[in-house]
Chains A and B, each alone.
Chain A
Amino acid sequence: MNKILNKILVLLILLGGFFILDAREISVSKNGIVKTIKQALQLAENGDVIIIHEGYYAEGNIIVDKSVTLKGVNFPIIDGKGSGEVFTINSDFTSLYGLTIKNAGVSFIAENAAIRLNEVTGCKIIGNRFYNNFFSVYLSKSSNSIIKDNFIKSSGQRETNSGNGIHLWYCKDISIENNYIFGHRDGIYLEFVENAEIKKNYSKNNLRYGLHFMFSDRCVYTSNKFENNGAGVAVMYSKNVEMISNLFYNNWGPASFGILLKDITDSKIEHNRFVKNTSAIYIEGCNRISIKKNNFENNGWAIKLMANSSDNIFRENNFISNSFDLSTNSRSNFNTFEGNYWSEYSGYDLNKDGVGDVPHHPVRLFSIIVEQQQASLILLNSLFIKTLDIAESVIPSLTPEMLIDTKPMMKVLK
């Protein structure tokens, strides 16, 4: 009786597993019947759940071409042993939960990943741990997938032999949420991605960029933390990007940025905090960006604005104790500054409306000198330079005369 029922079930699954709600479970454990994941995958059918019990599985190059769910119990360790990939997912609707994946192989030819999603849709990678992988999560031409609650750590020493934490290439509608990414080349990398939502991630101590994206339009980045990455965050050649409520902290070094913006248009950078970055925002060739309600504190440069940028709006930001609030390489200005708070502002407010009565010139003469002669930075904080700056602010002769905040705020904006 049972055997017949089983056969019918198998038949039904084979015919169209998608209609079956009760998925089968396959257990993998070191002392069970099924001892390896590969074995389990051979047995599995679409829709099955493979439970991987605690233990050490020295298995690499696992190819998943069935829509299964892989669930770890107490984080079983799957070790790729440094050769090739660990999981290559070729089937839609595949999910991976609670696994520890180690040692996807470093290679100069192949971009080996701990988990690669290869032209799939509807996949989930949730609550896994990644250690010392070349690339950790790699999505290639995939869509509608979720990468969430993962802990990703690598100990790359050099950019050349280190891959990215989460890498997306030609993807669409991806959600990346609440992941911790440490010690990769780029924490999160997106190229030719549309409609991605990157939320509440923490990207720290990555060798190059905490977040790096190019040609990725209509993506939203909110409430992420980017800390102490080699060069901060780089954002290039994209449109309609929203970066909101992120923290850019301590991206400090000769070529580090909070955010480097290159050829970005029609985007929003709002409610972010930039603390102790060498350059909080570097803007080159960008148009129509709204930079609003951000806090810039204790940065080397709060904003480096290159002359090929125009129609950007800087409004209601706080500029507090930065070595330079703003530097630019041109005497003309095609951007708007209005209603910001500048801790450097020395004007007065006679009518007590909270708005300074004289406009503020945020570009110091010294920032222009430094732009021309790097070595002159050695004179920072010198009384001579302060004297020069005061003289220049009285009669602007080298700084952009029209680059002014007409409504400088008297108090820090909340």
Chain B
Amino acid sequence: MNVTLKIIKYEFSNILRSKWLIIYTLFFLAVSYSLFTFGGDSGKALVSLMNVIVIIIPLISIIFGTMYLYNSREFVETILCQPISRKALFIGVYLGTVIPLSLSFAAGVLIPFFLSGNYDEINTFLLLMVTGIFLTIIFTAAAFVIGLKNDDKVKGLGFAIFVWLLLAIVYDGIVLFVIYIFQDYPVENAVLALSILNPVDLGRILFLLNFDISALMGYTGALFQKFFSGNAGILVSSASLCIWSALLILWGLKSFDGKDF
């Protein structure tokens, strides 16, 4: 673990010099600042911010993660010749990517939030932060799996963007399709299950319901609201995010362990 910490430290100093990370931070700074300042009431601003987050974080995490893994291949090869276990190195490189990305996001939204001086929605804001960080964890892990499974950079990047498109856009198309196909049946539970399976949707929906949008949905909304605001819902949602994170990290670890460099 000690070695892992050292790797994280070095990854950190490497990644922090990357201009992409600075752009990423500035992007969140600009978006959150303008939303908190000009976006009307803070609830509305948070909803808009969340809409940006559930799209941008997966996109940047998966692209940045894939690129970064390709770029750190030499580093990995150099370090692998030293007495360090593959597991420790993988965890080090992974956390060395996830932590700066998360911090960059956190700084980008936290600073404007504190500057706005309006802490009424602090709980919702925390939910937004946690969701954002989970999405970073999940999509960086996905990026690592993709990068490790594809040695061809172009192929890997293409695949990363495909996965993002699938989860951020196409998936919702499938949900809509399911709703139409099974319109004669009580479709709510199926929709609920589908949205829990996709971390992007889960983030979006958790947030929607937090703002009482459920009222727009009548009976269906009441059902969702009951589920997501109840203990079971919070448990299932958190479990879903944790399971996604764990599965992808383990998959990445396994791929890394069996990989030829």
Contact = CB atoms under 8 A, between A and B. Distances in A.
B172 A382 contact: yes
A278 interface: yes
B215 A384 contact: no
Interface string B204-235: 11001000111111111110100000000000
Interface stretch (B69-77, B147-155, B174-182): B174-182
Contacts of A383: 55, 168-169, 172
B173 interface: yes
A374 interface: yes
A347 interface: no
Contacts of B205: 378
B44 A298 contact: yes
Interface in B138-173: 168-173
Nearest to A382: B172
Interface residues of B, number: 38
Nearest to A254: B218
A384 B183 contact: no
A377 B217 CA distance: 6
Interface stretch (B24-32, B78-86, B105-113, B187-195): B187-195
Contacts of A323: 213, 216
B217 A374 contact: yes
A280 to B, nearest CB: 12
A256 B219 CA distance: 13
Nearest to B224: A378
A373 B219 CA distance: 12
Given A373-B179, A375-B187, A377-B220, A254 B170 contact: no
A300 interface: yes
Interface in A332-380: 369, 372-380
B179 A300 contact: no
B104 to A, nearest CB: 22
Contacts of A384: 169-173, 176
A381 interface: yes
Contacts of B222: 254
B208 A374 contact: no
Nearest to A374: B220
A385 interface: yes
A254 B179 contact: no
Contacts of A376: 175-176, 179
B215 A300 contact: yes
A394 B80 CA distance: 55
Contacts of A375: 179, 187-188, 191, 217, 220
Given A298-B44, A384-B169, A387-B169, A379 B176 contact: yes
Contacts of A379: 172, 175-176
A374 B179 CA distance: 9
A21 interface: no
B248 interface: no
Classify the interface of chain B: helix, strand, loop or mixed: helix
B57 interface: no
Nearest to B213: A380
Contacts of A301: 216
Nearest to A251: B215
B110 to A, nearest CB: 23
B216 A278 contact: yes
Interface string A229-257: 00000000000000000000000111110
B224 to A, nearest CB: 7
Contacts of A387: 169
Nearest to B222: A254
B40 interface: yes
A223 interface: no
A252 B212 contact: yes
Nearest to A323: B216
B201 interface: yes
Contact of B175 (A252, A300, A374, A378): A378
A374 B219 CA distance: 9
A321 interface: yes
A323 B219 CA distance: 18
B79 to A, nearest CB: 38
Which of A253, A298, A378, A379: most chain B Cβ within 10 A?
Answer: A378
B34 interface: no
B101 interface: no
Interface in A279-303: 298, 300-301
A402 to B, nearest CB: 26
A298 B215 CA distance: 13
B14 interface: no
A407 to B, nearest CB: 26
A300 B216 contact: yes
B215 A252 contact: yes
B116 interface: no
Nearest to B170: A384
Given A254-B218, A254-B219, A377-B217, 13 more contacts: A252-B212, A254-B214, A298-B41, A300-B215, A321-B44, A323-B216, A372-B183, A374-B219, A375-B191, A375-B217, A377-B221, A379-B172, A384-B171
6 contacts: A300-B213, A374-B218, A375-B220, A377-B217, A377-B220, A378-B175
Interface of B: 40-41, 44, 47, 50-51, 55, 168-173, 175-176, 179-180, 183, 187-188, 191, 195, 201, 204-205, 208, 212-222, 224
Interface of A: 252-256, 278, 298, 300-301, 321, 323, 369, 372-385, 387
Q: What 3 pairs between A and B have smallest CB-CB spacing?
A: A384-B172, A300-B216, A382-B172
